[in-house]
Structure 1
């Protein structure tokens, strides 16, 4: 049995659906109330618990072989709630735990260069000493974000912005492919400690070429500044609009991710683990751009 925490979110819900498609016994973990009701409405099998109480979570994890965390948030969630989920998984006798590490390789990102990735590093320090088998899945950035959340494709002027080098490779995987791969890792008792996947490894110049193919019009790269100037903009943005205590993605946080990507910080070293599950097919950048244009 596999238990998924964070199933009310986009990635977590997709992981549950992929496990259903694999005929795996899966349960969604939820807080009592609207969160549980929404999961019931999706047809998920749900167990409720109090995420502030390890004993309550452990009872809900009874019988679980693998616990998957798709929790998303700041310190109270990634370190706090996920830490209690890990403790509860150990208490319940689960064999495996997949933390919410879905990102670029945060182990290779300079300290303090990315707030959200620093939280994953903090959780890693706790998880490494837990008496449970861990599997972290690193997927790069979500490729879906290239259609809006990462605003480097400027259709009005037919340009793709970049900082530093237009030829710096960056790792991207769609949310759907990440969920599909995670479901397979959850039912794989031999899954290793780290799995690195990328549906596409592309530079700003590659992105411009892909948009040109999909749009039937020439897009070119446009330097937006140096990595140093982007770092300065991030510092200014943090002072002007710091964001609230629950703001997961203030503007400056998105800029931190962009700087990590364009600096090659957290880029995957070969080999990738794309071929571990041979039934996997990978969504290309052209397909993502084509779907976004159609929508």
Structure 2
């Protein structure tokens, strides 16, 4: 019998992929979407075989009705406190009201559990929701994928294709950073949704790669030696971020505030995954760092 799974955030990049992977695994997939959702995104989900349920996301009654009969709720929503905390709380309460056994929160990020509160705004929001989630009786599983590998394409300090540089902070040229592709994250999340015995926390990474390893791989691909730069100490980086945030109060209402991008870099160089669950599901294959870099780094 097909497992019935409800996905929130299905119109987003990750949510769409999670739906696709669940359908491939013959789950009965439903997606809750706002009435204002792009019709083209809804049509793409329908073509996959996903049942579309249009709801008023502010209505607990409508969310509870959508959760009825579901075995798992997967949240792939993105946003600030009104989404990560408030909306997810309504969704969770509705799932519990509908007697849904399991919940997968939108924790797709570096594993923030060992990080210091206050150092990353978006992780603090996830922490707030986690505390609420863990106070309930529902069985939860969080998927921590590090950073989405896509960020390597966008000239961050970790890999800047525009100025042909690779940068790091502190004495961390050999510090391994966790990257997972969206496709790998979606496939793993689908497996977790179908796994009634999945644990509370699962760390994954398509590849773990240090600045020195990035430098070597880029040289192998391009034949070029990028500049390898130490930008500052970690302490100076933390002070810079604090000032950057204080100087840009408008960023508190921006999902991708400039200082939030810096906070993510700081977090990636502060912690990494030590207990990868990559081998939990034998049918999965994982993208290697070299293969991923070859997909967009040109000679």
TM-score higher than 0.5 here? yes
Deviation of the 1:284 alpha carbon: 1.4
Matches within 5 A, 1:111-130: 111-130=117-136
Aligned residue number for residue 209 of structure 2: 202
d(CA) in 2 for partners of 1:37, 1:85: 25
TM superposition score normalised by structure 2: 0.92
Distance in 1 separating the partners of 2:106 and 2:100: 17
Q: Distance in 1 between matches of 2:124 and 2:37?
A: 31
How many residue pairs get aligned? The number is: 291
Out of 233, 243, 254, the position equivalent to 1:226 is: 233
Aligned pairs for 1:208-287 (under 5 A) are 208-262=215-269, 264-265=270-271, 267-269=272-274, 271-287=275-291
Query: Could you say what the CA RMSD is over the residues aligned between the two structures, in angstroms?
Result: 1.6
1:154 maps to 160
Between 75-84 and 284-293, the greater mean CA deviation after superposition: 284-293
Residue matched to 1:47: 53
Aligned mates of 1:107, 1:149 — CA distance in 2: 28
Map 1:157-196 → 2, pairs under 5 A: 157-164=163-170, 165-196=172-203
Unaligned runs of 5+ in 1: none
Match of 1:16 in 2: 19
Does residue 64 of structure 1 match 2:73? no
Native 8 Å contact 2:251 2:258 kept in 1? no
Decide which of 104, 113, 116 is 2:110's aligned counterpart.
104
**Unaligned ranges ≥5, structure 2:** none
Query: After the TM superposition, which segments of 4 or more aligned residues of structure 1 sit over 6 Å from their partners?
Result: none
- Determine if contact 1:54/1:88 at 8 Å carries over to the other structure: yes
Give the deviation of 1:156 after TM superposition.
Answer: 4.8
More deviation, 145-154/98-107: 145-154
Alignment of 1:30 with 2:37, yes or no, is no
Give 3-state SS (helix, strand or coil) of 2:109's partner: coil
Distance 1:47 1:161 in 2: 45
What CA deviation, in whole Å up to 9, does each residue of 1:3-42 have, x standing for no partner?
Answer: 0000111101110011111111101111123346631344
Q: Deviations over 1:41-100 (max 9, x none)?
A: 442320122211212101011110000000111111011000110001101111110000
2: distance between equivalents of 1:195 and 1:14? Answer: 19
- Which secondary structure state, in structure 1, belongs to the residue aligned with residue 156 of structure 2? coil
1:158 Cα deviation (Å)?
A: 3.2
Partner of 2:229: helix, strand, or coil?
Answer: strand
Q: Is the 1:143–1:285 Cα contact (8 Å) retained in structure 2?
A: no
Distance in 2 (alpha carbons) for counterparts of 1:156 and 1:55? 50
Q: TM-score, normalised by structure 1?
A: 0.93
